Structure 1
Amino acid sequence: MKDWAGVGEAFSASYADLCAGTFSTMHRALGAPKRRNLLDVGAGDGRLAAAWADAGWIVRACEPEASMRAVSRRRHPQVDTVSGALPDLPFEDGAFDVVVANFVLNHVASPRRSAAELRRVSRDAVVATTWMLSPSWFWAEITERAGVEPFAGAKLSAAEDFERTADGFARMLREAGLEHVTVAEHGWTWNAEPDALWLSVEGGVAGAGALYTGLDDDDRRRFRAAFDRVIEERRTGGVLPLEHRAAIAVATAG
């Protein structure tokens, strides 16, 4: 799995904006907060947790990476941000009315154990998302044009992996013991700033960042040249419109 150590600032300046694209759909699925409390697991830079708080929820953010927590506490001091990682969260059973995990179960070593842990600490509902079409397609094209070997991170075993479709995500969650699971597909266009995209690479964010970090100087120059060519070909009005798609699951207690 990808190592996220030290990438808090670079993530916040780039992919945090992309990942927030699921908020409107999750928000509609849960309805009015009605004084309920909510735990955001794998909260990253706290952007989504702050959005939940602004919508009226009583929010706590849980994030295992120190650099992410530092950004969250500085930029969103109104959110209580604590350390904690799946599949063993530092909370009692049913501690929160609602638990959300935005693009988290696709990054953990044991998705089913982690999903079961989300259910354990929730009373009413779990909302989780996973990529169906992630930014990896964009970086795969650049990697191919640059003529460098693609990033080969650690993969889930066949027993742990799940199909990255709405049905596959729902099936995995049910296997983890979650009930009353519904999954919807959500698509959106991220109008990415080219400078932010490149900052994510230099900052070591996600697979593209891990790949770039391991390249020698010549390969880095080829990678940058390929990036610039793709940006020039695809940019519209100074931004790069990138299509993404996610599966958004809601599991309720009954």
Structure 2
Amino acid sequence: MKDWSGVGEAYSASYSALCAGTFVAMREALGEPHGRSLVDVGAGDGTLAAMWTAEGWTVTACEPESTMRAVSRRRHPRIDPIDGTLPALPFADGAFDVAIANFVLSHVPSPRSAAAELRRVSRGAVVATTWTLSPSWFWAEITERAGIAPFGGPRLPDDEDFERTADGFGRMLQEAGLQRVEVTELDWTWSADPRALWRSVEGGVAGAGALYAGLDQVDRQRFRTAFDQVVDERSANSFLPLAHRAAVAVSAAR
């Protein structure tokens, strides 16, 4: 799996805004907080935790990566993220009314064990998301134009992986023991700042960052040239309109 160590600043400057695109769909699925508690597992730089807090939820942020927690504390000082990793969270059974995992279950060694752990710590709903059209399509265009092989990092073994579709995500969650799982797909266009995208590359974020880190100087220049060309072709008003799609799954209270 992709190593996310040390990427807090670069992630916060780039993909944090994209990943927050699921917030409205999750909020509508859960309704008003009415005094309920929520744990945001894999909370990253705290963007979503702060959004849930602003909506009136009692929020606990849980994030295993130290630089993510550091950025979260600086940006959202009222939220003190806890160090915790799926599938062994440091919480009692049924500690929260809701458990959230936004774009997390595809980044753990055992998605089913991780989903079962979300179920364990929630006495109510579990909400999880995954990409069905991820940012990788954009970087695949860059690598093809640069004549560089795309990122081919380690993948989940067949018995742990799941089909990256809305139906496949729902089946995986049901296999993990979640009940009455409803999955919808959300499409949106992210207006990305090219400078922030390039910072994510240099900062080692996601597959593109891992790929770039392993290139020699010549291939890095080819990669950058291809990036600049695609940005010039696709940009509108200095931003890149990039289409994305995510599956948003909500399981009923147990």
Q: TM-score, normalised by structure 1?
A: 0.99
Residues 96-130 of structure 1, C-alpha deviation per residue, up to 9 Å, x if partnerless? 00000000001111000000000000001000000
Give the SS at the match of 1:157: coil
Q: Map 1:19-168 to 2 at 5 A.
A: 19-168=19-168
Letter in 2 for 1:169: F
Residues 6-32 of structure 1, C-alpha deviation per residue, up to 9 Å, x if partnerless? 000000000000000000000000000
- What residue is the counterpart of 2:214 in the other structure? 214
Give the SS at the match of 1:138: helix
How far apart are residue 253 of structure 1 and its match?
A: 1.8
- What residue is the counterpart of 1:223 in the other structure? 223
Measure the CA separation in 2 of the matches of 1:126 and 1:240.
33
How far apart are residue 161 of structure 1 and its match?
A: 0.6
Letter in 1 for 2:132: M
- What residue is the counterpart of 1:197 in the other structure? 197
Measure the CA separation in 2 of the matches of 1:153 and 1:216.
17
Measure the CA separation in 2 of the matches of 1:130 and 1:147.
29
Measure the CA separation in 1 of the matches of 2:10 and 2:253.
37
How far apart are residue 77 of structure 1 and its match?
A: 1.1
Residues 131-161 of structure 1, C-alpha deviation per residue, up to 9 Å, x if partnerless? 0000000001101111112111110111111
Letter in 1 for 2:184: A
After superposition, the CA RMSD in angstroms is 0.6
Give the SS at the match of 2:148: coil
Letter in 2 for 1:123: R
How far apart are residue 180 of structure 1 and its match?
A: 1.2
Letter in 2 for 1:221: Q
Letter in 2 for 1:81: P
- What residue is the counterpart of 2:2 in the other structure? 2
Q: TM-score, normalised by structure 2?
A: 0.99
How far apart are residue 80 of structure 1 and its match?
A: 2.8
Residues 222-244 of structure 1, C-alpha deviation per residue, up to 9 Å, x if partnerless? 00000000000000011000000
Measure the CA separation in 2 of the matches of 1:86 and 1:110.
9
Measure the CA separation in 1 of the matches of 2:156 and 2:35.
38
How far apart are residue 45 of structure 1 and its match?
A: 0.2
Residues 152-180 of structure 1, C-alpha deviation per residue, up to 9 Å, x if partnerless? 11101111111111111110000000001
- What residue is the counterpart of 2:186 in the other structure? 186
